[in-house]
Structure 1
Amino acid sequence: MSVRSIAIALAVVTMASLSGSQAAPQGFGGLGSAAEGFSVPRPGLLFRFPEDHGAHPDFRIEWWYLTANLEAPDGTQYGARWTLFRSALAPGEAKGWSSPQIWMGHAAVTTAKDHFVAERISRGGVGQAGVVAEPFSAWIDDWQMKGVAAPGADQLAALTLNATAKNFGYELHVSAKGPLVSQGKNGYSVKSAQGQASYYYSQPFYTVSGSLALPTGNVGVTGKAWLDREWSSQPLAADQTGWDWFSLHLDSGEKLMGFRLRDKGEGFTSATWITADGRPEPLPAGALQIAPVRTAKVAGRQIPVSWSLRIPGRGFDVTTRPLNDQAWMATSIPYWEGPITFSGSVGGRGYLEMTGY
């Protein structure tokens, strides 16, 4: 059995345990399971950069998550994403096969007719995957997100990204036109009434240029992108079954991040309004109202693919539409994620992720 096969086998076992196969409630993907032995987020943290762009191995779960709304010269719309997840069997890091860290990469390109998906899995400690804060680099196999910022600039101010798979690939360059943004209260993002939380910041001000490699040929694209950085050890309550998460680029220049975590009741919502110059304004609990508008049959299940988003206190009232109803991520832990447009009180584009359906 090859080293890579062993790594994949170990990772699959880990992901199966994280997917909630235990008898006790664990929340979606096991993210509601106990955080015993791991560090947990506390209010009052001040982010440290560039250090916090790197990994936090004493926390159980972490991700580097970029989504891009893209357009070809003829106006055809696309979506692309590059994500690296870190999940720990135990807190801390070690060299070689003693490392308790599991890494998983997801890449996707979405068109109006197709949704291309690829997944990579690696054991930590052997160089196959990882993150370095400065000079910034995140990778798994030959997929890479690399910092190319000018001297003295934030390490995430400019990045190149690439991913290749059987039926698709891409090379993208992103450049930030605004500051990093803390989500929640100064980066402390509460996820439930019981107080589960994560550390969370974003870079929602990227412009993008690059190319997509599709079965029909290469396509030059430009657009906007959004990077999320988040880490925790128990980000969900045990009874939370999944989430509906939105990142929106408003035509006005403003941004909105909002999510609903589902449970047996009304769920838990949170949102941050981001001004055009990058000032985050956390909204009060319940200020964002999220309701499904249309469902579609996806991967054998009914999933809400169009949504109503309202913030009455701001006069914000929009309806979202997916580029492709079938943006299903058929990965180890499957979920829906794809580009959306929206219209109503304001127009724009963004991304929607839905888990637990």
Structure 2
Amino acid sequence: MNVSKKAVGIGLLGLLLSACDAPPPPTGFAGLGGQAAGFAQVTPGAPLVFPRDHGAHPDYRIEWWYVTANLSAADGSVFGAQWTLFRSAQAPGAEAPGWSHRTVWLGHAALTGANWQHSAQALARGGIGQAGVETQPFAAWIDDWRLDNPAPSTAHLGNLRVQARAADFSYELNLRTDRPLVLQGVQGYSQKSQQGQASWYYSQPFYQVSGQVQTPDGQWHVTGQAWLDHEWSSQPLAANQQGWDWFSLHLDDGAQVMLFRLRQQGGPDFVSGSWTDADGHSEALDSGQVQLRPMGANATLDQHRAPTQWQVRIPTHGLDIRVEAFNPDAWMKVTPPYWEGPVRITGSHAGQGYLEMTGY
């Protein structure tokens, strides 16, 4: 999300808190629909300021930095890479030092191939340097997983390096762009429900990528495209929203499309998104402009079942496409599990992208 994006793993933070005799995280889907009393609220009108807003926002309860990349090698191998850092404040107010710090961090990383997906997670407590985010120069990290800018931070984060290493995979990727950021929703104010839930949300969808990926089968030099999301809120979901389907799509004509559907019990789904042309001009999309329809193919993990083929239509832009998983079994085997992987685009437009599905 992402909602945009994405703190499906925030429920895991309760495990770390329990070990430290702290109260469990809020109830609701992964804690995202929990109570936000005492935390800052997302209200429209306050402009985002960069590079300041690339950093952490401790007055808000939940935040994440998220990168996905569609990659290919000279031998024809195709890969998807994901890197996510979540921040969760367990209580409002000033932080205490050291192990009394009430912020918890969670990292998810994955590398996906045609017939396999390797995923990993990392947990950290705030206040001890194990995880965090800085703005000048920009750096986000948990243990040795890093997303950073080797030069002084710019407004559009035009030069980033992302790396992760786990038992079955590693990657180190360089991301470059000279395009502007995309402020999702209305100048970064991204509504998530008719009841008023919202987040601050921006993207950088224009990265060109080069780097290395490694698995037990070998190492490859790769190139491709990447997408960065940064999102923060104190209550980004309504209590009756059970999960989401989120798309980041790189079209071959240079346009970039973000779409999400928040599935709601007892009412219509909430659909939103954006269309950004090749020059970086962006237009917000609402539910009346977007049609998202699962097409029947499903991936199954234990009791979880998620659709891996979709029809996506945006008639105002002449878009009528089929979005299909590159690897239907791209489940993130974390707690709780969710589906996340690269997709192919065919139909009125061609391209590639990423799909995330949670709450199934």
- State TM-score, norm by structure 1: 0.92
Q: CA deviation at 1:122?
A: 0.3
Q: CA deviation at 1:17?
A: 4.3
Q: CA deviation at 1:146?
A: 1.2
Unaligned runs of 5+ in 2: 1-12
Q: CA deviation at 1:15?
A: 11
**Deviations 1:220-245, CA, capped at 9 Å, x for gaps:** 10000000000000001100000000
**Deviations 1:142-180, CA, capped at 9 Å, x for gaps:** 11111024x574372111111110010011110113111
Identity of paired residues, percent?
Answer: 53
**Deviations 1:259-280, CA, capped at 9 Å, x for gaps:** 0000123300001111111111
| Partners of 2:26 and 2:34 within 8 A in 1 | no
1:86 corresponding residue in structure 2: 87
1:310 corresponding residue in structure 2: 313
| Partners of 1:136 and 1:155 within 8 A in 2 | no
| Partners of 1:147 and 1:155 within 8 A in 2 | no
| Partners of 1:15 and 1:333 within 8 A in 2 | no
Distance, in Å, in 2 between the alignment partners of 1:9 and 1:297 is 30
2:78 corresponding residue in structure 1: 77
2:179 corresponding residue in structure 1: 178
1:23 corresponding residue in structure 2: none
| Partners of 2:17 and 2:23 within 8 A in 1 | no
1:273 corresponding residue in structure 2: 275
2:292 corresponding residue in structure 1: 290
Q: CA deviation at 1:11?
A: 6.7
1:255 corresponding residue in structure 2: 256
Distance, in Å, in 2 between the alignment partners of 1:63 and 1:33 is 17
1:344 corresponding residue in structure 2: 347
Distance, in Å, in 2 between the alignment partners of 1:13 and 1:344 is 52
Distance, in Å, in 1 between the alignment partners of 2:346 and 2:88 is 37
Q: CA deviation at 1:215?
A: 0.8
Instruction: Provide closer, same or farther for how the CA distance between residues 297 and 214 of structure 1 changes in structure 2, counting only shifts above 3 A.
Output: same
Corresponding letter in the other structure for 2:351: G
| Partners of 1:295 and 1:302 within 8 A in 2 | no
Distance, in Å, in 1 between the alignment partners of 2:358 and 2:227 is 19
Alignment of 1:1-357 (within 5 A): 9-10=16-17, 17-18=24-25, 20=27, 26=28, 28-91=29-92, 92-149=94-151, 153-154=154-155, 156-264=157-265, 265-300=267-302, 301-357=304-360
**Secondary structure of 1:317's aligned partner:** strand
| Partners of 2:179 and 2:280 within 8 A in 1 | yes
Q: CA deviation at 1:13?
A: 8.4
Distance, in Å, in 1 between the alignment partners of 2:51 and 2:18 is 29
**Deviations 1:99-134, CA, capped at 9 Å, x for gaps:** 110000010000011000000000001000000011
Larger CA deviation: 43-52 vs 123-132: 43-52
Instruction: Provide closer, same or farther for how the CA distance between residues 193 and 201 of structure 1 changes in structure 2, counting only shifts above 3 A.
Output: same
Corresponding letter in the other structure for 1:72: A
Larger CA deviation: 230-239 vs 168-177: 168-177
| Partners of 1:250 and 1:346 within 8 A in 2 | yes
| Partners of 1:253 and 1:275 within 8 A in 2 | yes
Distance, in Å, in 2 between the alignment partners of 1:158 and 1:270 is 29
Instruction: Provide closer, same or farther for how the CA distance between residues 312 and 273 of structure 1 changes in structure 2, counting only shifts above 3 A.
Output: same
- State TM-score, norm by structure 2: 0.91
**RMSD over equivalenced CA pairs, Å:** 2.0
Distance, in Å, in 1 between the alignment partners of 2:175 and 2:22 is 31
Instruction: Provide closer, same or farther for how the CA distance between residues 12 and 250 of structure 1 changes in structure 2, counting only shifts above 3 A.
Output: farther
Corresponding letter in the other structure for 1:260: R
| Partners of 2:136 and 2:153 within 8 A in 1 | no
**Secondary structure of 2:17's aligned partner:** helix
**Deviations 1:12-32, CA, capped at 9 Å, x for gaps:** 789994484xxxxx2x21211
| Partners of 1:309 and 1:319 within 8 A in 2 | yes
Q: CA deviation at 1:195?
A: 1.1
Instruction: Provide closer, same or farther for how the CA distance between residues 167 and 15 of structure 1 changes in structure 2, counting only shifts above 3 A.
Output: farther
2:4 corresponding residue in structure 1: none
Larger CA deviation: 321-330 vs 277-286: 277-286
**Secondary structure of 2:297's aligned partner:** strand
List structure 1 runs of 4+ shifted beyond 4 angstroms: 11-19
Distance, in Å, in 1 between the alignment partners of 2:155 and 2:96 is 28
**Secondary structure of 1:241's aligned partner:** strand
1:3 corresponding residue in structure 2: none
Distance, in Å, in 1 between the alignment partners of 2:300 and 2:26 is 20
